Amino acid sequence: MDMVRIGVGGVEPGEPAASRLVVTADFDDFYVRSYKRTLGLALSLTGDWGHAEDLVQDAYIAAHKGWAALSTYDDPAAWIRRAVLNRAASRRRRFGREIRALTRVWARRSDPGHDTEPYDERFWKAVATLPPQQAKVVALYYVEDLSVADVALVLGCSVGAVKTHLSRARHTMHTLLVDKPEIHEVRDD
């Protein structure tokens, strides 16, 4: 016999206990069916098992809290994927800010003639000026080292759309960073 946890997440006060059982059982089933794929997505975005698990856990907590509405969606798994993508992007931005702050502190302590920059600040400032979808494609392609097909899978769009965004981003980056020809390197993957 399957065990069903009684929970109140996503159920309005005053609803019968049977409704709570159904909602919780539906969420549990959704979780079991979608967890591995969601974790795989998070792992491909972060490259770190622990961070991936944290992103997924946060997304499912949010989904559980709003399950009453989310369960009516045509594809609740799409909502979970988007939640993981958003959390990964926030984590990447936070990590970037931390790196920049540490770089500034480290640069103050280092020899002024020594290059302490662990990344190309001009490049990432230029990426920040791109439209959001182009910036996501650039980050997933260059930072996460995902193939065009994997970027399309993560963003839920076609391979052609990814190639278009990547091409437009490269064109804009070329305009902004004329002296950086290595940015235009094309990988066929």
Burial call 131-154: b when 16+ CB within 10 Å, e when fewer: eebbbbbbbbbbebebebebbbbb
Neighbours of 86 (CB within 10 A): 12
Mean pLDDT of 113-125: 59
| Domain(s) of CATH 1.10.1740: residues in the chain | 16-94
| Domain(s) of CATH 1.10.10.10: residues in the chain | 121-189
pLDDT at 64 over 90: yes
Of 40-54, 83-97, 146-160, 170-184, give the lowest mean pLDDT range: 170-184
Angstrom CA distances, 108 to 32, 114, 122, 189, stand at 50, 11, 19, 40
Greatest pairwise CA separation for the chain in angstroms? 71
What is the CATH code for 121-189?
1.10.10.10
pLDDT at 85 over 70: yes
pLDDT band at 181 (very low <50, low <70, confident <90, very high): very low
From the list 131, 134, 139, the residue with the least C-alpha distance to 90 is: 139
Percent of the chain whose pLDDT exceeds 70: 68
Percent of the chain whose pLDDT exceeds 90: 28
136-145 confidence digits (pLDDT tens)? 888 788 766 7
What is the CATH code for 16-94?
1.10.1740
Instruction: Supply the pTM of this predicted model.
Output: 0.45
25-56 confidence digits (pLDDT tens)? 689 999 999 999 999 988 888 888 998 999 99
